[in-house]
Structure formats: structure tokens, C-alpha cells
Amino acid sequence: MRELIKKLTEISSPSGNEDDIRNFIKKEIKNHCDSIETDAMGNLIARINGKKNGKTVLFDAHMDEIGVMVNHIDQNGFLRFTAIGGFFPFHALVHRIRFQNGVIGVIGEEKRDSSTKVSPLDKLYIDIGAKSKKEAEKMVGIGDMGTYAAETIVTKDRIIAKSLDDRIGCYIMIKAMKTIKNPKNTVYFVFASQEEVGVRGARPAAYRIDPDCAVALDVTGTGDTPESNKMEVKLDGGAAIKVKDSGMITNRKIRDELVDVAKKHKIKYQFEILEHGTTDAFGIQITAGGIPTGAISIPSRYIHSPSEMVSVSDVEACTDLVVAFANEYDV
């Protein structure tokens, strides 16, 4: 577990620049599926063939991550930037950014108007150690993208890393692909692009496949930290079966089937109602005339930060649920 998660999370692949993570995943799964391809949106789509009378089941996890894009270099070599996805200033200050060519910088800020207020993005800059614009331009260029640079830590009970949103979903699908053998159903695994900038990749992939049902895998927030928003989801509570979020209400039959499978296999689970945020399930559900769609969420603390945290036991529960559902879905 440790080495695969470390490799998945430490790769820098922000939305629209998924080449590095896609190439890594492709090598990891190529011997565990019957077909594999990359579509026009950059989605990696793998298929495991089932029996002739089986259903078609689609699992989705997005492989992109939040990041930054350089939009200005000043005369002193400091970089100004715009956000790629939900890159929040209150998580960012003095953290390191790794650009895809390997250059690393530190996020700094202009003088604050108030020590109690968070500086907005237009008051932040990235210091790559350059002494002038000319020197900086030899290191990075306008339009270059970067992501948080952070070490991944895996302990007995916890995983702490940048980009667990949603590389942990990718990990679960990879593990499931390595486990599933001769399934009843034909199973597609979509490692989707550009989720963080508007659920863009999953929609055309789902339209093309047009499955009998779909299940998206992504992280969700928790209500188990001091003075957190009231929410039933917690670390170590098991796989979070989504009921609704701000983008969708899950298909009741798919939700009930996930619960039935979890009970049958004694897989620990909990229910998720997410007030803010959505996942690829939202885009898939309203594609191709409508697809019965559910979601399995991985409880996570500190989402969209350099130190997202999930539970090892929850990840294992989610993996077990994916494998069991893939084999047994028959609604």
C-alpha cells in the first residue's frame, strides 16, 4: 500500500496536464484489464470483460489535482499566479510549489492590511529564488502549472498527502482491478481528467460507454474534528455511501444496492450528505439520457490542502465494496 500511494500522490498532474499521472497508472494496470485506451479528453479508460448476460458497470475516479498557473513574472523574478481548481489562500501561505519541470518555489505574500485576515490570491506570489525576470523566465514560463510539493506519510492507521483528492480513489480502483477475476459484469474503470475545473472528463467518457450503472469514487469531508461542520461522516467509520451533495441526489436503487452489498460482505459503511461540493457522479448522472449513478466517498480531513488525511481502514473498506459491487450488481 505505502509505495503505490506514495507514487500516486507525489506525482504532479494538475487539471488539463494529467500526462504524468496517466502514464504511471497505465503502466500499473496494463496487465490487469482486457483493454485500455486514452480518449480525446485525456481520460484513461480500462475494461475488464464480463459474461455475455452481465451488466455494464462503470467506476470513476479523477486523476487530476488542484494547482496553480503562472500568469505574470515581475522584474524581480517573483511569479504571480492563478488557481487551477479549488486552490485556497488559507491553505497556501509559505507552502512549496513544484512545477512540472521540477522547479520548486515558496508561496509568499505582500504586506497584509490586517494580521487577522487571509490574503487573497492576488496578494500572493511564488518565490523560485530568481533574482530577476530574465533569470525566472529561464526556469518557468507563462502558463506553466505547479502543484503542492509535499511528502506522503503512511502510518498504520492514517495516510497524509497532497492530492489524496482523488489519487486515493485511483488507488482503490487500481487495487480493485488487481483483485477482480472473471467478473459476471463487464467493468469499466475511468481515471478521469479535469474534475477539479468543472467535472469535464467524466461526462464524455460516460456518454461513450453508456453503462447500466456508474459509481464515482472521491473524497468527502468529515464532521469529526473540533468545532467542525455538523456531519455524520468520520474517519474509521467505513466507506461513505453518498445520499446527496450540492450537485446530485444519488440513484436510490444504486444506493440501496451498495448498502446491501456492504451488509452481505460485512463491510463497514456510513452515509454521506455533503452540503458543499460534488463529484464526477454529478456529471455522469445527467449524461447520455441519464445514467443510474451512485458514489462511494473516502472520508478525508483537510481537503485541498498539502496535508489531506484519510483512514487506512476506510480505504480498505472502499476497495472491498468496489470489488463486491462490480461482481454482484444486478439491478
The vertex-55 CA angle with 54 and 60, nearest 5°, equals 135
Query: Residue 104 is placed in which grid cell?
Result: 520548486
Q: What is the CA radius of gyration of the chain?
A: 20
Q: Which one of the listed residues 37, 135, 137, 195 is annotated catalytic?
A: 195
Active site residue 195: yes
Give Cα separations from 293 to 85, 175, 305 (angstroms).
24, 21, 28
The residue type found at 207 is Y
The CA distance from 206 to 101, in Å, is 32
Helices 164-179 and 2-10, axial angle in degrees (round to 10): 140
134 exposure class (CB count in 10 Å sphere: 0-12, 13-18, 19+)? exposed
The vertex-242 CA angle with 22 and 85, nearest 5°, equals 45
Helices (H), 88-137: 89-92, 133-137
The widest CA-to-CA distance across the chain, in whole angstroms, is: 66
Q: Which residues are known to be catalytic?
A: 195
